[in-house]
Amino acid sequence: MNDLKYEHDIIVPSVPNKMHPFRCMNLLAGSGGLPIFITFDVGPLVQLRGSYEALSYAWDQAQKSAKVFVLRDSPEDYARRYILVTPGLHSILKNLRHPTQTRRLWIDQLCIDQDDNKVEKGGQFAIMRLIYEEAAMTFVFLDQPSSTERPILPLLDKMEEFKNEIDEKFYRPYWTAYTSLTFARRNVSKLKFKPKLDETIHTVDGGHDIQT
């Protein structure tokens, strides 16, 4: 079976009627080392809004060398057609892929024709803010995992570990001391006594005894 490069059908901007046609992708179910398969839906933003999740990430500088395969509806199209993406995005797609369900996404590197198509790029870039606003959810990837790393966000993991360490070392001991002191003060306030005039009463102020 020969693999052929996939070519997008051109999306022509439709400014007069404000329909804003754009392209969504369906990330098909899979897991492990299985190839990534997707399909595309093209429709007006007003019709597809809320039905997809958007991805925001920093493009890595690596060469596009990983294949994402596009399945077409035509039964005559037996050849597997692919789009080349960066290894970082390929790892992100593996991380987002559900093992049993299809996931509808909008990802600029796949949903906007990256070939020399100035007409489509100009129209899609003009509505990019609306695309993010109308998404059901937006995933933000702060780190690009390489092909040899697990598809996770190590930066977020480190931030969580740091937060837990701060809580354990600083916040929790002081909170325990504070609650103990508050409990002790409440108990002391319940005690009633009348000292004699000739008695010396010791109170504590900042660690120093004050005689009265």
pLDDT higher at 206 or 12: 12
Q: How much is the average pLDDT of 89-109? A: 93
Evaluate if residue 188 carries a pLDDT over 60: no
Residues contacting 98, CB < 8 A, separation 6+:
27, 29
Residue type, 124: Q
With beta carbons less than 8 A apart as the criterion, state whether 53 and 105 touch: yes
pLDDT higher at 77 or 51: 51
Among candidate residues 124, 26, 101, the one with its CA nearest the CA of residue 68 = 26
Distance CA 72, CA 8 (A): 11
Evaluate if residue 34 carries a pLDDT over 70: yes
At 77 the pLDDT is 56
Strands 137-141 and 202-205: unpaired
pLDDT-derived band at 120 (thresholds 50, 70, 90) equals confident
With beta carbons less than 8 A apart as the criterion, state whether 39 and 28 touch: yes
Long-range contacts at 14-19 (CB < 8 A, ≥ 24 apart): 14/44, 15/123, 19/44, 19/45, 19/46
Q: How many helices (H) and strands (E) does the chain have?
A: 7, 10
At 49 the pLDDT is 86
Distance CA 56, CA 141 (A): 6
User: What confidence tens digit (pLDDT) does each residue in 154-185 have?
Assistant: 555 566 666 666 666 665 665 566 566 655 55
| Beta carbons within 10 angstroms of residue 95's beta carbon | 14
At 152 the pLDDT is 47
Q: How much is the average pLDDT of 81-96? A: 90
pLDDT higher at 107 or 193: 107
At 149 the pLDDT is 46
Place of tokens 């199209």: 77
**Environment class of residue 103 by beta-carbon count within 10 Å: exposed (0-12), middle (13-18) or buried (19+)?**
middle
Evaluate if residue 98 carries a pLDDT over 80: yes
Evaluate if residue 212 carries a pLDDT over 50: no
User: What confidence tens digit (pLDDT) does each residue in 54-83 have?
Assistant: 998 876 677 888 999 998 765 455 557 888
Residue type, 201: I
